[in-house]
Amino acid sequence: MRLLFINPNITPAITDMMVAEAERSISPTTTLVPATARFGTLFVENDIEAAIAGHAVVEAIADKADGCDAVVVSAFGDPGLRAAKEMLDVPVVGVSEAAFLTAYTLGRRYSIVCMTKRHRLWYMDCAEEHGLHGRMASARALPVPVTDVTTAREQFRELLIAECVAAVEQDDAEVIILGGGPLAGLARTFRDSVPVPVLDPIECAVRLAEMLAALDPKPPERGSFARPAPKPSKGLSENLERRLSAPRAG
């Protein structure tokens, strides 16, 4: 099995960090195909950056999805996810989507703990857009500025633990989701520090993607994720033009 693993921001160090965590979680017979956004921002934090990242995601799919059995969009907030689902006949999973769905199986109320206040607002919107906000107990951000996202997981580990514990004690959270690619790998180190399950969205996503690929679902011919009919376009990359011109599944 081959999983296309897309980092929608332009920071290779974050790609490497997330890929390392994903490789801890995939099956021995699964191969990751990493891709870093060709254009965009250092990290994705708001709707403007998410719109740019969504374009970068579909570009990465156009360039690298051939021969892959599933795709993971690895930025919390899932930029470009719905477009990617329309674009491909194989399963596409967002890390937020996967974490929310997993949290639903482990407790009645979940909380997100993330890096910045702007992330917090975007992630709350993301849960609502997915229709998975009904059991959200809270979303919490670090109470201090984050100046370097590549070192955040080491620099703010104890503060993140404190926010996780506060979400349990003050917000009645029964599951914690650590939101943000730069926090990859922290969840498994919180096991003895937080009294409820703590989820790493990357682990949730790659495991869900493997499961969906193994199910080999029929590509939809109707509904929200059916591939749109081809139409004239202008200014697109050659590979993206090719993808958008491909016939619908049927």
Q: Contact at 8 Å (CB) between 139 and 111?
A: yes
Question: How would residue 152 be classed by pLDDT, with cut points 50, 70 and 90?
Answer: confident
At 247, is the pLDDT very low, low, confident or very high (cuts 50, 70, 90)?
Answer: low
Q: What's the pLDDT score for residue 230?
A: 86
Edge-first strand listing for the sheet containing 70-73: 31-36, 2-7, 70-73, 92-94
Token reading at 194: 């937080």
If DSSP codes are grouped into helix, strand and coil, which group holds residue 96? helix
* Mean pLDDT computed over 144-149: 85
Is a pLDDT exceeding 80 seen at residue 246?
no
Which of 9-18, 82-91, 146-155, 221-230 has the lowest average pLDDT? 146-155
- The per-residue pLDDT for 248 is 60
Lowest average pLDDT, out of 112-116, 131-135, 143-147, goes to 143-147
Residue in 89, 49, 99 with CA at minimum distance from that of residue 69: 89
Which pLDDT belongs to residue 153?
85
Contact criterion met (CB below 8 Å) for 212 and 85: no
Domains of the chain: residue spans and CATH: 2-94+204-245 (3.40.50.12500), 97-201 (3.40.50.12500)
Q: What would the pLDDT profile of 166-186 be if each residue is shown by its tens digit?
A: 999 999 999 999 998 889 999
pTM exceeding the 0.85 threshold for the entire prediction = yes
Mean pLDDT of 46-75: 95
pLDDT digits (tens, 9 = 90+) for 203-217: 999 999 999 999 999
